Amino acid sequence: MICGPGEPYVLVTGCGSGLGHALVRALEGLSFPVAAFSRDDNSLTTLFPPPSPPASTWHFFADLGNFERMDSLLDTLLAAWGPPSLMVHNASVLHHRGPLWEEETRHVTETLRTNLEVPAFFVSRLVPAMIRAKRGGHVFISSTVGREPRANWGSYAISKAGVESLSANLALELPPPLFSFTLNPGPVATKMRRKAYPVTDPAVPRTPDSAAAVLTRFFVKLCTHDAGRALNGCKLNLNQLEEEEEDV
Ligand SMILES: NC(=O)c1ccc[n+]([C@@H]2O[C@H](COP(=O)([O-])OP(=O)(O)OC[C@H]3O[C@@H](n4cnc5c(N)ncnc54)[C@H](OP(=O)(O)O)[C@@H]3O)[C@@H](O)[C@H]2O)c1
């Protein structure tokens, strides 16, 4: 499927590795159009032309914290494809495991910027276009530590609690059929997971591909059935989505 203005597509942030990367690959596997925002290694800010058939993935390379650059990339995307049917706020950093007061100030700043200010920025840039188009929703990839206080997760836990609050407030404000919900993927074997548990992981994490397979089926269903509003304000878990798939 190739995308055009007004057609369904998913926007994903943080597609350079981990869950975001696997999500984009899985959407590509279903030929579902996706706008993939990744940071490139050279800190270059590159804009590729829109994809032509049979490709339907539009890659944007830039640091998400560079709002001036994001503004211009989003202008280009919105002009060509319109607002996304679903924005997946996935990009995140985890710098510190330990008490907050031991975390380096620059890491606190970057964590709050990437994990909380970036989603708020994308919301403020996309929601007006979504309201005009009368479609679109936001899924914020959250974490257990954002839903219940837990010691020694530094500014990461605070940023994820902020994301939960961002989604809940947004859900109260968005007119139907727009929607917002959070989704906790649970343990996934990524770079972030290895940083969180460098020695022994207390869980058996899923592979990014297995998590992305479940999420992608769910996201595509939301986009193609306009089913998101029923989930407005919800706090979902990946396990629960998988169980519901098995019950069908
Ligand atoms: N893995 C788990 O067990 C787990 C559990 C609960 C929740 N989560 C959540 O799941 C989501 C995905 O995490 P993950 O495990 O896949 O983490 P990951 O492997 O560390 O991937 C995070 C992605 O975000 C990108 N990113 C970070 N800062 C960026 C910036 N300023 N600009 C552009 N891209 C940026 C990273 O790019 P680079 O590769 O360039 O750094 C990377 O591609 C996150 O929201 C995380 O909080 C994960």
CB 179 within 8 A of CB 137: yes
Residue at 154 is within a domain: yes
Whether 5 is covered by a domain: the verdict is no
In order of 52, 80, 185, 199, the CA distances from 141 in angstroms are: 30, 26, 7, 25
Q: What is the pLDDT of residue 156?
A: 98
55 within domain boundaries = yes
Please indicate whether residue 238, judged by its CB atom, sits closer than 6 Å to ligand 1.
Answer: no
Residue 4 lies in a domain: no
| Ligand 1 pocket test target in 121, 155, 190 with most atoms within 8 Å of CB | 190
Q: What is the pLDDT of residue 226?
A: 78
Contact 245, 214 (CB under 8 A): yes
pLDDT, mean of each 10-residue run, the chain (248 residues): 78 97 95 92 60 81 94 95 97 97 98 98 98 97 97 97 98 98 98 96 96 97 90 97 81
Residue 5: the pLDDT is 72
Kindly report the protein residue whose alpha carbon is nearest to atom 46 of ligand 1: 92
Q: What local confidence, expressed as pLDDT, does residue 225 receive? A: 82
Q: Is residue 177 part of a domain?
A: yes
Residues 138, 239: Cα–Cα separation, whole Å:
20
Q: Indicate whether 2 belongs to any domain.
A: no
- The pLDDT assigned to 46 comes to 60
Is 47 within 8 Å of 80 (Cβ atoms)? no
CA-CA distance, 118 to 70, in Å (whole number)?
A: 10
Beta-carbon contacts of 211 under 8 Å, excluding residues fewer than 6 positions away, are 19, 22, 185, 186, 188, 238
Q: Is residue 210 part of a domain?
A: yes
pLDDT at 71: 95
Domains contained in the chain, number = 1
Identify the domain containing residue 158 by its residue range: 10-247
CATH number at residue 195: 3.40.50.720
Evaluate whether residue 1 is within a structural domain.
Answer: no
Q: Would the CB of 111 count as within 6 Å of ligand 1? A: no
